[in-house]
Amino acid sequence: MTDHGIKPNPFDLTIFKNWVGLIGNIFAIIFFVAPISLMMKLKKKEQDPKNTPYLIMMMNIMNCVLWLSFGYLIDDYFIIFGNAIGLFLNLIYLGLYFYFRFESKANLYVFLNIISIAVALSLFLFLSCVLKNEDLAKYSAMVFNILMYASPGQKIVN
């Protein structure tokens, strides 16, 4: 909010903060589109799904849900927009991973997809509509942001 109680227009590109938000969203979307090459390798069977670091997708989903909740609580369009796209794409990636991983077990694939979506939606609703705590959403998002970048270590442990 400004001093006059009027919320600035996020599409007003004369404000420096809006440029930073726009550039940040562009880079975030590029980051979220990057796993497409991994999905293509799985589809072409160039990579075994059992050797795919699925934890990255799960941490991305948690990261996006938490930042989306924080963005919703503070009413920041840039945080909401970038993370909504990231959440949508990562749910698709995780669904595709489950599909390629459990091709012969369609019931398991559907069950795991429903569980993933339900957990993400429940977490968002709990943080945004029940707790309504900006600090909890912000610090939880920061923790999962760190875990998201640490998740490629899954391949080191295996």
Flag whether 69 is in a domain: yes
| SS3 letters across the chain | CCCCCCCCCCCCCCCHHHHHHHHHHHHHHHHHHCCHHHHHHHHCCCCCHHHCCHHHHHHHHHHHHHHHHHHHHHCCHHHHHHHHHHHHHHHHHHHHHHHHHCCCCHHHHHHHHHHHHHHHHHHHHHHHHHHCCHHHHHHHHHHHHHHHHHHHHHHHHC
Flag whether 1 is in a domain: no
Count Cβ atoms below 10 Å from residue 81 Cβ, excluding itself. Answer: 18
Please state the domain count of the chain. 1
Cα separation, 118 vs 96, in Å, equals: 17
Flag whether 4 is in a domain: no
Flag whether 9 is in a domain: no
| pLDDT recorded at residue 4 | 59
Global pTM value: 0.85
Answer for the pair 82, 23: CB distance below 8 angstroms, yes or no.
no
Q: Which domain, by its residues, includes 114?
A: 16-151
Q: Write out the two tokens for 128.
A: 């945004």
Flag whether 65 is in a domain: yes
Q: pLDDT 10s per residue in the chain (158 long)? A: 445 567 778 778 888 888 999 999 999 999 899 889 888 988 898 888 888 878 888 889 999 999 999 999 999 999 999 999 999 999 999 999 989 888 888 888 889 889 989 999 999 999 999 999 999 999 999 998 898 888 776 666 55
Flag whether 3 is in a domain: no
